[in-house]
Amino acid sequence: HGADYFIWLNDDTFPLSGTIEGLIQACQSKSCLKIVSAQCYASNELILPTYGAHRAIGANKINLIPAYTTTDEIMVGDAVSGNLVCLPRSVIQDIGYPPAHQCPQYGDVIYTWKAKQWGYDIQAYGAYKAICAPNEQQLKSWLVGEDSIWSIWRSFSSPKSYFYFKFHWYCCMTFYGWLGIFVFIRPYWQLCRNAILRWLFPKSFLIYLQNRRDEFKEVKEITGNIQ
């Protein structure tokens, strides 16, 4: 229809006043091609950030982790979540539409990562805020959660699962090439491993193992930040 910019807005994301207008202005920079995101928070208190930028880590720079800002700073990223994003028309002309067939639900991060490779600046603006509660999927444990192993496995057939087979395969092949085969099987192997652990040990022991693992990860993150 001739628009120069368009907005991604999830149906569970609620922009604060002025956010959409601010994102459009930020995207209109003449110095470079930009894709810009709002910083989302879990509630109106604006304390817990949920969705925004992602940054690549590791030697190969293809492992993406969330990168939040709780100030008005601009967070430069390698991809963004698609909860509230302004994109220029040119991105469609350059890399086409998002791969809806392979990624019917979670194509936003991989699409903006591709745009980054094409030369677009990817940014999350802390000054432009929205409310979007975190996905409950991210909070559930396969080891000590209430869901059965069978129900978790069945959920993988839903496009709303991060491990929806078609989507997970597409992401692994895009990021890792043929090495992505090993990345692809990892979550399914982990689910099988947890099924065996659930069968062998009481839940109290599994909770103990989970807590020790979480403590180890926390110490590792602190050590990495200090270094």
Q: What is the DSSP string of 110-159?
A: HHHHHHHHHT-EEEEEEEEEEE-PPPGGGG--TTTSSS-HHHHHHHTTST
Q: What is the mean pLDDT of residues 175-194?
A: 92
Report whether pLDDT(110) > 80.
yes
DSSP letter at 105?
Answer: T
Record the pTM.
Answer: 0.81
Distance between CA atoms of residues 156 and 151, nearest Å: 9
pLDDT at 73 over 80: yes
Which amino acid makes up residue 61?
K
pLDDT at 90: 93
For 217, phi then psi, to 5°, come to -65, -40
Integer-rounded Cα Rg, in Å, for the chain is 19
Overall average pLDDT of the 53-66 stretch:
78
Given this model, what pLDDT does residue 32 score?
81
107 has a pLDDT exceeding 80: yes
pLDDT reading at 30 higher than 80: no
pLDDT recorded at residue 24: 95
Q: What is the mean pLDDT of residues 58-65?
A: 69
Position 102 confidence tier, pLDDT thresholds 50, 70, 90: confident
DSSP, res 184: H
Q: Which two tokens stand for residue 187?
A: 């979550």
pLDDT the model gives residue 61: 58
Using an 8 Å Cβ cutoff, are 79 and 52 in contact?
no
pLDDT computed for residue 222 by the predictor: 55
Q: What pLDDT does residue 137 have?
A: 58
Which positions ≥6 away from 203 have C-beta within 8 Å? 144
